[in-house]
Amino acid sequence: MSDEARDSETKTLNACPHDSGLGIDLSLDIGSSSFGGWLLWQLADSAFPTGGFAHSNGLEAAWQQGEVGGRAELLTFLEAGLYQVGHASLPFVLAAFDTPEELNQIDAYYDAFTSNQVANRASRAQGRAFLAAVERIFEPEIGSRKSELKCAHFAPLFGVCLRELKVARETAARMYLFQHLRAVLAAAVRLNIVGPMEAQTLLRKLSPMAEVILQACDRLTLEQAAQTSPLLELWQGAQDRLYSRLFQS
C-alpha cells in the first residue's frame, strides 16, 4: 500500500465511529480523557457490585415450570425480556437521565408502574445496591441521593447516576440493556440451561436485536411505557412460591 493510500485510509478510520461489526458505536464518549474509557469498563464489569446476579428476572421460575429447558426456549425468553426492558424500564432510565431534577417523581412513578411485587422488590434492592456502590466508589464525582428517595428503583437511579458520571445518554441506555442480558445469561449458566460458551454466543447473537430495540425505544415517554410480555411477569411473580430457589427473583 502506498503512503498516500495509507494516509487516506487512516483519515477515514479516524473520521468514522469505531464499529463492532454489529452497528454499535463503541467509541469512547466521555470527553477526550482516557479515564472515561476506564470508567465505562468499570461500570460494565460483572464485578461491579450492583447485586444483579442475585436475580434471574423470572428465568428460574420459568425453568422450574418446564417452560425454558434449553437453548431454543432460552433464546425466546431473552428476546421477550429485551422487548420488555426496552419498553418498560428504558423509558425511566432515560427520563431520569434527561431530567435528573425530577428523580423523586420518576422513582415514585416507576414504583406504581411496577405492580409485580417480586419485580418491584428486586428493583428496589438493585437500586439501593447500585446507589451505595456508586456513591462510595465515585464519591468526588457524584453527590449523595439517599435522603431524597423513598423507593430507589434501579432504572431511574441508573439513568441519573450515569448522567452525573458524564456518560453519554446513548451509552447509558446501551449499558442498561447489556446489563440485563448479562444478568439473565449468568442465571442461565448457573441453572445449567446453557454453558458459559453458549451464553456468550447468545449474547453476541442478541446484540444487534438489542441495538434495534434501543433505537426504537430511545424516545418513548413515561406515558408510553408498557409491559410487553405478560408471561414474564407471571413467571417472575411465581418466584416466591418456588419450593427451592437460587435467586431472589
Query: Nearest to residue 246, comparing CAs of 55, 48, 1?
Result: 55
Dihedral sign from CA coordinates of 221, 111, 79, 175: positive
Is residue 66 within 8 A of residue 191, CB to CB? The reply is no
- Position 12 scores a pLDDT of 36
pLDDT tens digits, residue range 184-215?
Answer: 999 999 989 999 999 999 999 999 999 999 99
Domain map (residue ranges) of the chain: 52-238
| CA gap 169, 186 in Å, rounded | 26
Is residue 150 within 8 A of residue 27, CB to CB? The reply is no
Q: Is the pLDDT of residue 176 over 50?
A: yes
With bands split at pLDDT 50, 70 and 90, how would you rate the model's confidence at 243? confident
Burial 98-122 (b: 16+ CB within 10 A, else e): eebeebeebbebbbebbebebbbbb
Q: Is the pLDDT of residue 127 over 80?
A: yes
Is residue 193 within 8 A of residue 70, CB to CB? The reply is yes
DSSP code at position 240? G
Q: What is the mean pLDDT of the chain?
A: 81
pLDDT tens digits, residue range 15-30?
Answer: 433 333 333 343 444 4
Q: Is the pLDDT of residue 227 over 60?
A: yes
Q: Which three cell numbers stand for residue 68?
A: 425454558
| CA gap 214, 194 in Å, rounded | 26
With bands split at pLDDT 50, 70 and 90, how would you rate the model's confidence at 8? very low
With bands split at pLDDT 50, 70 and 90, how would you rate the model's confidence at 236? confident
CA 206-98-127 angle, to 5 degrees, is 65
The DSSP secondary structure of 172-212, one letter per residue, reads: HHHHHHHHHHHHHHHHHHHTTSS-HHHHHHHHHHHHHHHHH
CATH T-level assignment (fold) for domain 52-238:
Urease accessory protein UreF (1.10.4190)
Is residue 179 within 8 A of residue 165, CB to CB? The reply is no
Tell me the one-letter amino acid at 243: Y
Q: Is the pLDDT of residue 62 over 80?
A: yes
The DSSP secondary structure of 42-87, one letter per residue, reads: HHHSTTS---GGG--TTHHHHHHTTS--SHHHHHHHHHHHHHHHHH
Q: Is the pLDDT of residue 226 over 50?
A: yes
With bands split at pLDDT 50, 70 and 90, how would you rate the model's confidence at 155? very high
**Over residues 124-152, mean pLDDT:** 79
The model's pTM: 0.82
Cα 114 to chain centroid distance, Å, stands at 16
- Position 15 scores a pLDDT of 40
